[in-house]
Amino acid sequence: MKKLLLLVLVVLCSCQSDKKEKLSPRPQPNPEENLTPQPYFTDIKSNDVKLGEPVFGEWLYSHKEKGQSFKQFIKTPHVVPSKEENIIYLKPIGKFNSVQVKQIELVRQYLQVFFQLETKVLENVSNDIIPNNARRIGDVGQEQFLAGYILTDVLKEEKTHKGIALMAITEKDLYPKPEWNYVFGLASYRDKIAVSSIYRMQQEADFNLCLDRLLKICSHEIGHMFGLHHCINANCVMNGTNSMPETDRHVIRLCSLCQRKLNSGFKYDNKKRLTELEKYFRENNLAEGMQLMKKDLKSIQEIKKDN
């Protein structure tokens, strides 16, 4: 049980590591502007599923979070895309097999649709960039990399053209500090960098399940970079999570409030985003995600008919 409580998803370490950091000032929406939701967000709110009472072992059982209102979100400095910075980058580290390479490309495609921002994969680099003092052998004999080293000594040195977010993906397991068994990832929101591991996603032979987990973790972590806090309003990809089973129980969809927050700075076409997400899920045989997007699309179309 003690080990279970130590096994936390990327959000645990990343959020805790960055609480004291402040983002550089950026142009933000007027705090008093657009406090009334657009019809789109009220239309899809009916598809939000309320979270149940947390039970022992779940994130909200041990983390009494207060949530983040829309007004709090727009008043808090956060990264907003601009003409100068509007590309998300992924940086693979390690020797990936053909299945993993395919999944990284699918993650790229997904993030491009999810955030409606161009997303690119940088050239793969060898595990040799990680020195011995940032490696160890884990509790079941697996090699692990120190996540913080990848952030501070690898990603901070990476120069990208018009980059707004940079996430490394490793094929090796990660650990955040000596007393922890492992972590799925780590991030610095101030520096707009993160690292996630594909290692534990591949523990089962189910390609689609592994892909679903990767999509959730990467979109969640980059969502934090854009100012989204953990969601406590509904079952949402921005929910905090303590374990892989809890991650699997969370949906891949952003709830109506989190969608509203993201859209406030990005100003993308909400229907276009939904349509592209539905197509992505359908083409990649991710049935749950496809049905969720269809429900949202149906909601906005039915409201339009009624009007």
- pLDDT tens-digit profile of 140-155? 999 999 999 999 999 9
Asked, for residue 6, whether it belongs to a domain, the answer is yes
Which listed residue (58, 221, 276, 278) is catalytic? 221
pLDDT of residue 305: 57
In a domain, 37, yes or no: no
Q: Which pLDDT value is given to residue 1?
A: 40
Q: Which domain holds residue 119?
A: 2-18+55-255
Residue 160 placed within a domain: yes
| Confidence grade of residue 290 (pLDDT, cut at 50, 70, 90) | very high
Nearest-Å Rg of the Cα atoms of the chain is 19
For residue 230, the domain's CATH number is 3.40.390.10
What is the predicted pLDDT for the residue at 58?
85
| Percentage, residues of the chain above pLDDT 90 | 66
Of 157, 86, 89, 155, residue with least CA distance to 122: 89
The answer to whether 204 is a known catalytic residue is no
Give the pLDDT confidence of 35-78 residue by residue, as tens digits. Answer: 778 999 999 999 999 998 989 988 888 888 999 999 999 998 88
Quick check: helix, strand or coil at residue 262?
Answer: helix
Token duo for residue 39: 């019809």
5 has a pLDDT exceeding 80:
no
Q: What is the pLDDT of residue 307?
A: 52
Is residue 271, in this structure, part of any structural domain at all?
A: no
Q: How many distinct structural domains can be found in the chain?
A: 1
Residue 234 has pLDDT above 60, yes or no: yes
Query: Could you count the other beta carbons within 10 Å of the beta carbon of residue 8?
Result: 24
Give the number of other CB atoms < 10 A from CB of residue 172.
19
Query: What is the per-residue pLDDT for 62?
Result: 86
Any domain includes 265 = no
In a domain, 208, yes or no: yes
Q: In this structure, is residue 152 part of a structural domain?
A: yes
Mean pLDDT across the chain: 86
Residue 213 is encoded by which pair of tokens?
A: 């987990």
Q: Does 218 fall in a domain?
A: yes
